Amino acid sequence: MASVLVVEDDQFVRSALIRHLTDAAHTVRSVGTALEALREVAHHGFDVVILDLGLPDLDGAEALKMLRGITDVPVIVATARDDESETVRLLNDGADDYLVKPFSVEHLQARLGAVLRRAHGRAAAPPPRELRVGGLAVDLRRRRAQLDGRELDLTRREFDLLAFLAGQPGVVVPRRELLSEVWRQSYGDDQTIDVHLSWLRRKLGETAANPRYLHTLRGVGVKLEPPPGSPPL
């Protein structure tokens, strides 16, 4: 069960959302304007906000930016605007997911569940201080990494990429997940990932043709695992 704020000015849609979410055992509050939404979020703790873009007092995209200024509560944007460029902009501005109207109850429940699972994952126990994969040691708090005792000179993004992969050694991570978790984008150019992987490989002393730690599975994703002969994880 989750505490949900519905921000929707269409009374018919609003009532339907409240009914469906309540039937699914969620606690629901609802408002019809952006300013009311900001007041609600400032005074109540919600697990997720469902935000319509076509609000009467303020465009939903501006409301999203204002929400992000006061809270990190997950926001699912509900919109009738099926425009990819606007979707990318909203996700980059802080939306956690989006739904294009009209949508089914099952679709809403699936997206809501996925957002809540990601949010609960972020709120889980704090990560370990250090990750070790073979000869790699990644100090998460000091943001330092060593390979076989040698300090690696990594950019911020290279460190984030290495740390994310080292946190799940041997697991193939899809490129879309890398964009979401490392770059905080739901859409992007695969070339960005390839370039950073190439730089990281160079600093790890390997190449795509002869990998030691970083392995790319074409069309699937990327995994980081220790070289053969390393101590067990």
The pLDDT assigned to 206 comes to 95
Q: Is the bond leading into 231 cis (omega within 30 degrees of zero)? A: no
Give the other-Cβ count within 10 Å of 124's Cβ. 7
- The candidate with the shortest Cα–Cα distance to 156, out of 130, 182, 122, 192, is 182
Calculate the alpha carbon distances from 123 to 39, 47, 73, 92, 120 in Å. Answer: 24, 11, 11, 21, 5
Contact between 119 and 47 (Cβ < 8 Å):
yes
Q: Where are the domains of the chain?
A: 3-122, 130-224
The pLDDT assigned to 50 comes to 95
Is pLDDT above 80 for 94?
A: yes
Contact between 55 and 80 (Cβ < 8 Å):
no
The pLDDT assigned to 233 comes to 47
The pLDDT assigned to 122 comes to 60
| Overall CATH class of domain 130-224 | mainly alpha
Confidence band, pLDDT 50/70/90 cuts, at residue 145: very high
Axis-axis angle for helices 60-70, 84-92 (nearest 10): 20
- Extract the tokens encoding 227: 């070289």
Contact between 179 and 191 (Cβ < 8 Å):
no
- The candidate with the shortest Cα–Cα distance to 147, out of 200, 94, 98, 96, is 200
- Residue range 178-223, pLDDT digits in tens: 888 888 776 666 788 889 999 999 999 999 999 999 999 887 789 9
The pLDDT assigned to 181 comes to 83
The CATH H-level superfamily of 3-122 is Response regulator (3.40.50.2300)
